[in-house]
Structures are given as C-alpha cells and as structure tokens.
Amino acid sequence: MALCLNFAYGSNMLTARLRQRVPSARPLGVGVLRAHELNWHKVANDGSGKCDIVTAADSSRLVYGVVYEIPLAEKHRLDRAEGLGFGYEEQTKTVDLAGQRIDVQAYVAARIDPDILPYSWYRALVVAGAMEHNLPSAYIDGLRRVPVIQDPDQKRHAEHMSIAGEA
C-alpha cells in the first residue's frame, strides 16, 4: 500500500480528529520542525483563525507536531477537509522524528490575516492533540495562552468540544 507522511501541527494532531477525516491514519510519533513558528492566522471558511507554520527569523524556534502515516488512497479526504488549493497549499518539510530527519508533507496557509483569532473549540482540539502525544509542557502552555473568540454556532462548538474531550 502506498503511503505518505503528514506533519500535523494543529487540530489534526488529535488522533480522533484526524481519523474522522482519514480513518486509516496512523501516528508514528512526535515530529519537530526546526526554524519555524506556529501562527494561528490562517483564514478559515468559518471566519476564524486556524494554525499555520511559517519560517522563523530565529533558527532556534520549533514547531512540534505529530507525523502520521496516511494511505495515498485516502489522502484526498484530508486534502478536501484542509481545503487544499483554497485554504492551504502543500509543502514538503523536513522534521526530526525519533532521532531521524525525514521529509513530510505539511499544509501551509494560502490566505492569512494577522488579526484573526481561533475559536475556543479549535484551540481545545490543538491542546488536546498536544497533550495526547505528550508534547513538552511549556509548548502546551503556550498553546493554551493563545487568545480565542467564541463560535456563534453553538452546535458546532459543542461537537468540536466533545471531540476534544471537553463538555
């Protein structure tokens, strides 16, 4: 079976979230993307901000994420969910995974707004994924401090908070 490696650094770090999109996705471990930083400025169709990775001026900056193995036959499902060609473009990045440098595919924002904020449920999904995969506590604390707005769609809020394991 042909596979691709995906670097999930936002809500897709949470295995339950990613498996809603790609049921056969398998986490391989925590990946570290060097000389990059995490921003929450990707403009989403729902009017909120989503995560993005950008090259950092400071080469000591890191983005943690989860490397998933995804069957190529299912990858189109993730591409559609991520808005490939509309909201995100795909790039090859090199991450550290278990002491090895490997090439992975990552979604990078095509449309950004530095003033946009994520919904609280989106941040909850990102934090839950970071906790599930035991990312460093200082990194998780930084995720928790990201300012949020409330989703006016209470049903969507409740559904996503349920996935994140929060009521």
pLDDT by residue (tens digit) across 120-146? 999 999 999 999 999 999 999 999 999
Nearest to 89 by CA among 73, 71, 111, 70: 111
In 48-117 the beta strands, taken as DSSP E runs, fall at 49-55, 62-71, 88-97, 100-109
To the nearest whole number, what is the mean pLDDT of the chain?
A: 96
pLDDT of amino acid 49: 98
Alpha-carbon gap, residue 63 to 130, rounded angstroms: 11
Residue 167 has pLDDT above 80, yes or no: no
pLDDT in tens, 32-71: 999 999 999 999 999 999 999 999 999 999 999 999 999 9
Domains parsed from the chain with CATH numbers = 3-163 (3.10.490.10)
pLDDT of amino acid 119: 98
Q: What percentage of the chain exceeds 70 in pLDDT? A: 99
Tokens of 166: 């929060």
pLDDT of amino acid 85: 85
Q: What percentage of the chain exceeds 90 in pLDDT? A: 95
DSSP 44: P
The CA-atom distances, in angstroms, between 64 and each of 21, 46, 116, 147, 157 are 21, 25, 22, 19, 25
Tokens of 32: 């570290």
pLDDT of amino acid 87: 85
The SS3 assignment for 94 reads strand
Beta bridge mates, 112: 42
